[in-house]
């Protein structure tokens, strides 16, 4: 079972502290030198209590810290020129709610497997638009727009990417996602050997690997585990909306009207984006954007083979939606106004539209101008300004010149 209740950490913490105190007086060199501190996901009231943390990668303060450094380290990428380095943070930008906010993020080198790509002299774009990476620790339905990284996958290592046939490359979890990204030609375009050797040569990592994993050894397993720990630590629960639930803030009348619309059958957003205060069900739906579909699309159908999933994508969390334009998996809407107009009067019928798009025959939920303004005002209360400025998630000063 890959799920672990965060309460386990709550109970484990005193035991670890006791172990650490005991270990100071012990002669055992292993325990003496290696006693990482459990990292506790902040207990955000109303958030799901089930956390998606694999048994073999429990979160520790030292692991999250190492992961933060690696997340911001462009030397993990395949580029050798300092100007072209690319890190996770090149595309997942803290100020943008860990989204990039551009049309086609891509690896900037324009070279794949040592060869130029004729069609993409400036780099090969990713097939999908960006996803934010907040609150991934609460998602057990699968990562990416189509959920292709999920726990039920068997070993699907992609030999074309030079990925070893190893459990870390099973496309099951954030650990495998980190390596997929580092080796994907349209993302960081490196190889396991190259990235491990480069990180191994950077002096500051010696202590950090030792603190996180007990020895200085750098290997792909540890790199991916640390990055995954950092990504899991990015939890957003301090938007005005979240604070209003804790009685720490109050929505103004327009925002409250939008809130009530969002959670009512009138605007009907909550069936897919509500259900919990993650502002998503993390489920997959065809939300009525198109009448025809390209069999080459990397939609949910691409993963499941089920015709009912044609044109379906994961409903993304709307937390920080103000910061993550353009919208949808293909970035077709440039603003929240366009998105709201779409749900109001722009829906397109097809045989694959999800039954929860109940008003598709009327082209949408038909909102008045006042209701549209209210809905937008509510969506703007979902911005977590504390998260986007939190030094805990920002680029470590030593890495500023390397983050890409």
- The residue within the footprint of ligand HEC, chosen from 175, 187, 309, 322 (CB under 6 A), is 187
- The residue within the footprint of ligand HEC, chosen from 93, 267, 303, 399 (CB under 6 A), is 267
Query: Six-digit token pair at 147?
Result: 């959920």
Among the residue ranges 28-36, 51-59, 122-130, 384-392, the one whose residues contact ligand HEC (CB under 6 A) = 122-130
Is residue 285 a contact point for ligand HEC (CB under 6 A)? yes
Is residue 144 a contact point for ligand HEC (CB under 6 A)? yes
Cα 362 to Cα 306, 359, 367: the distances in Å are 27, 5, 12
Shorter beta-carbon distance to ligand HEC: residue 240 or 271: 271
10 Å CB burial of residue 123 (0-12, 13-18, 19+) is: buried
* Beta pairing partners, 333: 327
> Residues, the chain, total?
404
Is residue 234 a contact point for ligand HEC (CB under 6 A)? no
* Beta pairing partners, 149: 143
Among the residue ranges 5-13, 198-206, 210-218, 283-291, the one whose residues contact ligand HEC (CB under 6 A) = 283-291
| Least CB distance to ligand HEC at residue 18 (A) | 33
Query: Six-digit token pair at 259?
Result: 């809130």
- The residue within the footprint of ligand HEC, chosen from 328, 350, 363, 390 (CB under 6 A), is 328
Cis amide linkage into residue 326, ω under 30° from 0:
yes
Q: Which of residues 203-232 bind ligand HEC (CB under 6 A)?
A: 227, 231
Is residue 172 a contact point for ligand HEC (CB under 6 A)? no
Contacts of residue 353, Cβ cutoff 8 Å, sequence gap at least 6 = 286, 287, 288, 311, 347, 360
Shorter beta-carbon distance to ligand HEC: residue 88 or 211: 88
- The residue within the footprint of ligand HEC, chosen from 251, 277, 303, 318 (CB under 6 A), is 318
| Least CB distance to ligand HEC at residue 259 (A) | 11
- The residue within the footprint of ligand HEC, chosen from 169, 171, 343, 393 (CB under 6 A), is 343
Among the residue ranges 21-29, 141-149, 203-211, 246-254, the one whose residues contact ligand HEC (CB under 6 A) = 141-149
Is residue 374 a contact point for ligand HEC (CB under 6 A)? no
Query: Six-digit token pair at 293?
Result: 């579909």
Contacts of residue 224, Cβ cutoff 8 Å, sequence gap at least 6 = 168, 175, 176, 178, 179
Contacts of residue 368, Cβ cutoff 8 Å, sequence gap at least 6 = none
The beta strand positions in 238-310, using DSSP E, are 284-285
| Least CB distance to ligand HEC at residue 28 (A) | 35
- The residue within the footprint of ligand HEC, chosen from 339, 347, 377, 388 (CB under 6 A), is 339
Is residue 271 a contact point for ligand HEC (CB under 6 A)? yes
Nearest in space to 66 (alpha carbons), one of 198, 235, 197, 233: 233
Give the span between the Cα atoms of 318 and 328, in whole angstroms: 11
- The residue within the footprint of ligand HEC, chosen from 234, 269, 303, 310 (CB under 6 A), is 269
Place of tokens 């159908």: 301
For the chain, what is the largest distance between any 2 Cα atoms, rounded to a whole number of angstroms? 74
Give the span between the Cα atoms of 46 and 277, in whole angstroms: 7
What is the contact surface with ligand HEC in residues (CB under 6 A)? 86, 88, 90-92, 105-107, 126, 128, 130-131, 133, 136, 143-145, 174, 177-178, 181-182, 187-188, 227, 231, 267-269, 271-273, 285, 287, 289, 313, 315-316, 318, 321, 324, 327-329, 339, 343, 354, 356-357, 365, 375
């Amino acid at each position: 079972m890959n799920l672990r209740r965060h309460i386990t950490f709550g109970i484990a913490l005193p035991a670890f502290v006791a172990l650490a105190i005991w270990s100071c007086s012990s002669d055992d060199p292993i325990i003496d030198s290696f006693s990482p501190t459990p990292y506790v996901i902040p207990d955000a009231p109303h958030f799901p209590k089930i956390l998606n943390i694999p048994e073999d990668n429990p979160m520790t303060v030292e692991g999250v810290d190492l992961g933060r450094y690696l997340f911001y380290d462009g030397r993990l990428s395949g580029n050798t020129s300092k100007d072209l380095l690319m890190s996770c943070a090149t595309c997942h930008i803290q100020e943008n709610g860990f989204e990039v906010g551009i049309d086609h993020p891509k690896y900037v080198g324009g070279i794949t497997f040592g060869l130029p790509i004729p069609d993409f002299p400036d780099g090969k774009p990713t097939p999908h638009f960006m996803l934010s990476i907040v609150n991934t620790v609460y998602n057990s339905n699968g990562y990416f727009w189509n959920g292709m990284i999920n726990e039920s996958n068997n070993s699907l290592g992609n030999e074309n990417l030079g990925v070893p046939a190893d459990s870390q490359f099973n496309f099951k979890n954030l650990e495998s996602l980190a390596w997929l990204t580092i080796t994907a030609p349209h993302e960081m375009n490196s190889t396991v050997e190259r990235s491990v050797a480069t990180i191994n040569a950077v002096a500051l990592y010696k202590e950090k690997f030792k603190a996180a994993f007990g020895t200085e050894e750098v290997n792909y397993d540890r790199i991916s585990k640390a990055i995954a720990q950092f990504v899991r630590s990015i939890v957003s629960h301090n938007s005005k909306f979240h604070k209003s639930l804790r009685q720490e803030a109050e929505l103004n009348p327009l925002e409250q009207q939008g809130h009530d619309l969002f959670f009512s059958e009138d605007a009907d957003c909550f069936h897919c984006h509500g259900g919990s205060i993650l502002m998503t069900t993390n489920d997959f739906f065809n939300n009525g954007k198109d009448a025809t579909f390209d069999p080459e699309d990397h939609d949910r159908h691409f993963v499941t083979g089920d015709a009912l999933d044609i044109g379906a994508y994961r409903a993304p969390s709307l937390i920080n939606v103000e910061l993550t334009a353009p919208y949808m998996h293909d970035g077709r809407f440039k603003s929240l106004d366009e998105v709201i107009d779409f749900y109001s009067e722009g829906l397109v019928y097809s045989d694959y539209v999800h039954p929860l798009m109940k008003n598709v025959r009327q082209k949408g939920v038909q909102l008045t101008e006042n209701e549209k303004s209210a809905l937008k005002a509510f969506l703007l209360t979902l911005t977590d300004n504390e998260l986007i400025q939190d030094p805990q998630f920002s680029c470590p000063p030593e890495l500023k010149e390397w983050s890409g």
